[in-house]
Amino acid sequence: MATTSEPRQLPARQSIVIIGAGIVGNSVAYHLTRLGESAITLLDKGPLPNPGGSTGHASNFIFPVDHSKEMTALTKESMRQYKELDVYLECGGIEVARTEARMQELDRRMVSAKTWGIEPTSLLTPAEIREMVPFINEELLLGGFYTPGAGVVDSLRAATIMRERAVQAGMTVAANTEVLGLDVEHGRVTRVRTDRGDIEADRVVIACGCWSPRIARMAGARIPLSPAVHQMIDIGPVARFADARTLVDYPIVRDMDTNMYERQDGGGLEIGSYAHRPIMMDADEIPSIEESALSPTELPFTQQDFEVQMEQALELMPEIVGDESVGVRYAINGLLSVTHDGLPLLGETPEVAGLWSAAAIWIKEGPGAGKTVAELMVHGEAEIDVYESNIARAYPHQKTKTHIQARVGEGFNKMYGIVHPAEQWETDRRVKVSPYYERQQERQAVFYEAAGWERPQWYESNAPLLEEFGDRINRREAEWESRWWSPIINAEHLALRERAGYTDLTAFAIFDVTGPGALDAVQRVAMRQMDVPVGRVVYTPVLLPAGGFKADLTIMRMDQDVFRVVTGGAWGMSDLKWFRDHLPADGSAQIHDQTNAWTTLGMWGPRARDILSSVTSDDVSHEGFGFARWKEIEVGPLSVIASRISYVGDLGWELYVPIEQGARLWDIVAEAGLPHGAVPVGAGVYGTTGRLEKSYRAYGAELEGEYDVVEAGMAWGKVKEPDFIGKEAHVRQREQAPAATMCTLTVDDHTSASGVKRYMLGGEPILTAEGEPITDAKGRRSFVTSAGAGPSIGKHILMTYLPPEHAVVGAQLQVQYMGELYPVTVATNDSTPVFDPDNSRVRS
């Protein structure tokens, strides 16, 4: 069989050039050929099969359970492929706990395992851990989380087999070939320049691991990651392993509280660490293959950074680590790729068409990510919806070296950390501040980060509201749920519901689609009818080709040929790219990013009209200014775009002004609101409590590629006549009974076994009354997509997709949280909200 097809001369023209022959590049190559692509060349500057990147020194183990759905899905798919390639050795893995806080985290791991369907898993006592890992000092431990399916892979072998398969399908491989440049013409990649000649190409995939930023910059694109050091040593020979049957006879141990792992590797023991000081590098600084003593990504070990780790490994595994005859045979500072938010960078770069990123991927995600990128290239969508890993997500400041290094440095030591779902980054904050920032500081706002903006989550200055609303506001007794939370959020919520609240929405991403082809452009992307009169605001899903959700957003028709798209900040840049990618080819429509040009202040509540009418002479009556309309109104000296929609389910407006006039708008609204008892409210109300009481779905929680409009309960009205992306699938989905539907549930009893009331935060599995997981006909587990308080209804609200047999109002189910089960009831099984079910408030 052909093991290489090393050409003497590179082909002059190819459809696709893949740069990087590690686990990722080879996987992308294999899947592209599997999907029928041809004329592909795979390049690497290094020799094969180990070109010297991170694949060559990876510890190669896989623990499938992660709190992230997307990462778990990529890992699961990768495990499937490794098994199919026959390079997966299942040995099990145990995450051990030294602290009580970690024991609670292990309960969360159990929950995530059940939510994502990774089974079996179990909690172990120290004695049980000792039985499986007889060389561990169980006296240090309180318990462990056991995943029998964890294992070790041969990633170089997997890469080789995938490459061989691609070569059999006709792919060309060129090792020892260094890329010197990437040519771009009219925003599209056209040519790869190498030290062995140039290749013209329609598409180029950068799968260069920690070198990716350097290669991307050759085309003027950014792959925002930083190479970071992971220290690893191998000690041996270990007498106990002398008669090992396999490479790994004992479960891999992750010593979570010390940020370390220990695993058998044949006759030795590998000890790795994420505990040392973050050591980052620039992609340009990585030494060449020839200059490296081992390989470019196996840098000299810095012993001083590993001293504490040695002591910790010694106390955990004294029998082996403390053995004088066991020596440190190999020690490296291994380079791996880390990003500002810890997620991979997948997809076409927003800067250069045809230039694709398959970067910041580790061994456990490699084949799954490779398959996903190949599918995105061929079909425009992938079986696993990787919206969180979309490279287009990054805002400009998130691609700077300063930001990346700050966040990589901060995130590095959280690799095995106990990370609260609402935990905020501390480094490189205050890059983007809204025009209200100083006023918010005066009101003692607690700022969270939203799309890089500083955005109040609640205002400490609203603490007096706690007294006003008294018993209607829950206090959270358990530390975990009270972390990154305040009862003031619920008080602000009630103030809004009873009077009015105004909230900072500067983090919105805003872009205008303009030109004679603008209507066609938005019709093509938006699911709902966009051929509406000027002055209308349309809330619409944006679909993927197969009918799943790409986005949900609002579009204002500003003029015949001007449409203003407003979308959440989190995915704003991804959405911008989606619209841009689908503009008409004839240039009849353009897109203009207005995100940093406009600020938005939302104001809602029964007094909202009184407040607004007190500062404008324009007609804001229901008759004069109906729901889902926008108007330009005068507020003091400001010309304001007022849009009458609501994400909290109350009467009110989004008020848009040019960003430099925002502070004035705030002052006018605050002053006019004072006599009405209006207060500033944070995103805790806007994003969670207000939204959940109205059962409003959020992209990234309820709405994602894996679910369609019918399942989300949003298929109201007729399907519009003009074609749009996903239409065919959408029409078909309307004709079928949904496999699951979005339901709103309320928690019936919060009392845990210890008597403490507990409040779910999202991500928990929904179980039957008998305690069994619920799986729909498409194999999807039911889990809590969003969770939060409903202060007006006095209940804790959960949203989840349920298959038809459970999607029944009044059905009694359970939710698993921190190792215990709590009873829940299905409150609504369509878009009917639990608060103000007739939506009379928003239309008053």
Partner 1 sequence: MNILVCVKRVPLTGGKITLTEDEQAIQTRHLGFTVSPHEECAAEEAIRLIEQHGGESVVLTLGPPEAEEQLRDMMAIGIDRAIHLVSDGGEWDPQATAAAIVAAIEADGTAFDLLLFGNESADAGNYQVAVRVAQALRRPCVTGIKAITADGDSLRCEQEVAGGRDVYAVPTPAVVTVKEGINLPRYPSVPGRMRAKRKPLSASEPTRADARLEMVRLVLPPGSSKQAEVLGHGPEAAPRVVEILQEIGVV
Tokens representing 282? 């620039």
**Distances in Å between the alpha carbon of 622 and those of 113, 229, 610, 628?**
50, 61, 12, 11
CB of 805 to partner 1, least distance (A): 57
Out of 328, 415, 433, 638, the only residue in the binding site for partner 1 (CB under 8 A) is 328
- DSSP-derived letter for residue 840 is T
Q: Using the rule CB under 8 A, is 301 a contact of partner 1?
A: yes
Interacting residues with partner 1 between 587 and 606 (CB under 8 A) = none
Which amino acid, 237? P
Q: Using the rule CB under 8 A, is 168 a contact of partner 1?
A: no
Task: Select which of 323, 428, 552, 776 is catalytic.
Answer: 552
Q: Which stretch binds partner 1 (CB under 8 A): 302-310, 610-618, 658-666, 768-776?
A: 302-310
Q: Using the rule CB under 8 A, is 326 a contact of partner 1?
A: yes
Which one, 319 or 830, has the nearer CB to partner 1? 319
Determine contact, residues 267/113, Cβ cutoff 8 Å: no
What is the C-alpha to C-alpha distance for residues 259 and 350, in angstroms, rounded to an integer?
A: 35
**Distances in Å between the alpha carbon of 4 and those of 54, 101, 675?**
22, 51, 78
Computed from CA positions of residues 534, 535, 536, 540, in that sequence, does the dihedral angle turn out positive or negative?
positive
Q: Using the rule CB under 8 A, is 321 a contact of partner 1?
A: yes
Q: Which residues pair with 295 in a beta bridge?
A: 298
Which one, 133 or 184, has the nearer CB to partner 1? 133
Residue 190 CB coordination number (10 Å):
16
Which one, 241 or 301, has the nearer CB to partner 1? 301
Q: Are strands 252-255 and 260-265 parallel, antiparallel or unpaired?
A: antiparallel
Vertex 565: Cα angle to 712 and 523 (nearest 5) = 70
What is the C-alpha to C-alpha distance for residues 182 and 103, in angstroms, rounded to an integer?
A: 50
CB of 158 to partner 1, least distance (A): 19
CB of 258 to partner 1, least distance (A): 15
CB of 311 to partner 1, least distance (A): 7
CB of 324 to partner 1, least distance (A): 5
CB of 234 to partner 1, least distance (A): 10
Furthest-apart CA atoms within the chain: distance in Å = 88
- DSSP-derived letter for residue 256 is G
Interacting residues with partner 1 between 802 and 821 (CB under 8 A) = none
Per DSSP, the residues of 739-791 read S-EEEEEEES--B-TTS-B----S-PBEE-TTS-B-B-TTSPBPBEEEEEEET
Per DSSP, the residues of 330-370 read EEEEEEEEEETTS--EEEE-SSSBTEEEEES--GGGHHHHH
Which amino acid, 118? I
CB of 263 to partner 1, least distance (A): 16
**Could you tell me which of 565, 672, 686, 695 has the C-alpha nearest to residue 612?**
672
Q: Which stretch binds partner 1 (CB under 8 A): 19-27, 285-293, 531-539, 738-746?
A: 285-293
What is the C-alpha to C-alpha distance for residues 680 and 612, in angstroms, rounded to an integer?
A: 15
CB of 303 to partner 1, least distance (A): 7
Q: Which stretch binds partner 1 (CB under 8 A): 289-297, 419-427, 650-658, 766-774?
A: 289-297
What is the C-alpha to C-alpha distance for residues 245 and 235, in angstroms, rounded to an integer?
A: 19
Active site includes 341? no
Q: Using the rule CB under 8 A, is 100 a contact of partner 1?
A: no
Which string of x and - marks every residue 33-62 that binds partner 1 (by CB under 8 A)? --------------xx--------------
Q: Using the rule CB under 8 A, is 171 a contact of partner 1?
A: no
Which one, 164 or 654, has the nearer CB to partner 1? 164
Task: Select which of 31, 88, 107, 230 is catalytic.
Answer: 230
Q: Which stretch binds partner 1 (CB under 8 A): 29-37, 183-191, 209-217, 313-321?
A: 313-321
CB of 45 to partner 1, least distance (A): 11
Q: Using the rule CB under 8 A, is 658 a contact of partner 1?
A: no
Q: Using the rule CB under 8 A, is 173 a contact of partner 1?
A: no
Phi, psi dihedrals of residue 657, rounded to the nearest 5° = -140, 160
Which one, 4 or 613, has the nearer CB to partner 1? 4
Q: Using the rule CB under 8 A, is 288 a contact of partner 1?
A: yes
Which one, 38 or 288, has the nearer CB to partner 1? 288
Tokens representing 16? 């696709």
Tokens representing 325? 């005859």
What is the C-alpha to C-alpha distance for residues 181 and 217, in angstroms, rounded to an integer?
A: 9
Q: What DSSP element (H or E) covers 731? A: helix 727-735
Q: Which stretch binds partner 1 (CB under 8 A): 283-291, 390-398, 601-609, 811-819?
A: 283-291
Which string of x and - marks every residue 233-262 that binds partner 1 (by CB under 8 A)? --x---------------------------
CB of 13 to partner 1, least distance (A): 24
Which one, 163 or 781, has the nearer CB to partner 1? 163
Tokens representing 7? 């050409």
Which string of x and - marks every residue 118-157 that binds partner 1 (by CB under 8 A)? ----------------------------------------
CB of 466 to partner 1, least distance (A): 53
Which one, 168 or 246, has the nearer CB to partner 1? 168
What is the C-alpha to C-alpha distance for residues 248 and 307, in angstroms, rounded to an integer?
A: 26
Q: What DSSP element (H or E) covers 72? A: helix 69-84
Out of 103, 123, 310, 422, the only residue in the binding site for partner 1 (CB under 8 A) is 310
Active site includes 261? yes
Active site includes 622? no
Phi, psi dihedrals of residue 107, rounded to the nearest 5° = -60, -40
Residue 84 CB coordination number (10 Å):
12
Determine contact, residues 800/787, Cβ cutoff 8 Å: no
**Distances in Å between the alpha carbon of 99 and those of 115, 418, 745?**
24, 11, 34
Which amino acid, 133? V
Q: Using the rule CB under 8 A, is 293 a contact of partner 1?
A: yes
What is the C-alpha to C-alpha distance for residues 334 and 10, in angstroms, rounded to an integer?
A: 32
Residues in contact with partner 1, total (CB under 8 A)?
38
Out of 148, 220, 267, 287, the only residue in the binding site for partner 1 (CB under 8 A) is 287
Out of 118, 205, 313, 645, the only residue in the binding site for partner 1 (CB under 8 A) is 313
What is the C-alpha to C-alpha distance for residues 504 and 687, in angstroms, rounded to an integer?
A: 11
Out of 44, 323, 454, 575, the only residue in the binding site for partner 1 (CB under 8 A) is 323
Q: Using the rule CB under 8 A, is 170 a contact of partner 1?
A: no
Vertex 793: Cα angle to 789 and 794 (nearest 5) = 60
Q: Using the rule CB under 8 A, is 291 a contact of partner 1?
A: yes
Buried residues in 305-343 as b, exposed as e (16+ CB within 10 A): bbeebbebbebbbeebbebeebebebbbbbbbbbbbbbb
Q: Which stretch binds partner 1 (CB under 8 A): 282-290, 338-346, 551-559, 759-767?
A: 282-290
Q: Using the rule CB under 8 A, is 562 a contact of partner 1?
A: no
Task: Select which of 82, 261, 395, 822 is catalytic.
Answer: 261
Q: Using the rule CB under 8 A, is 292 a contact of partner 1?
A: yes
Q: Using the rule CB under 8 A, is 282 a contact of partner 1?
A: no
CB of 88 to partner 1, least distance (A): 26
Which one, 273 or 506, has the nearer CB to partner 1? 273
What is the C-alpha to C-alpha distance for residues 97 and 106, in angstroms, rounded to an integer?
A: 8
CB of 211 to partner 1, least distance (A): 14
Out of 170, 187, 327, 626, the only residue in the binding site for partner 1 (CB under 8 A) is 327
What is the C-alpha to C-alpha distance for residues 286 and 452, in angstroms, rounded to an integer?
A: 30
Provide the binding-site residues for partner 1, judged by CB under 8 A: 2-4, 6, 8, 47-48, 175-176, 235, 285, 287-294, 299-301, 303-304, 307, 310-311, 313-314, 321-329
Query: Catalytic residues, which ones?
Result: 230, 261, 552
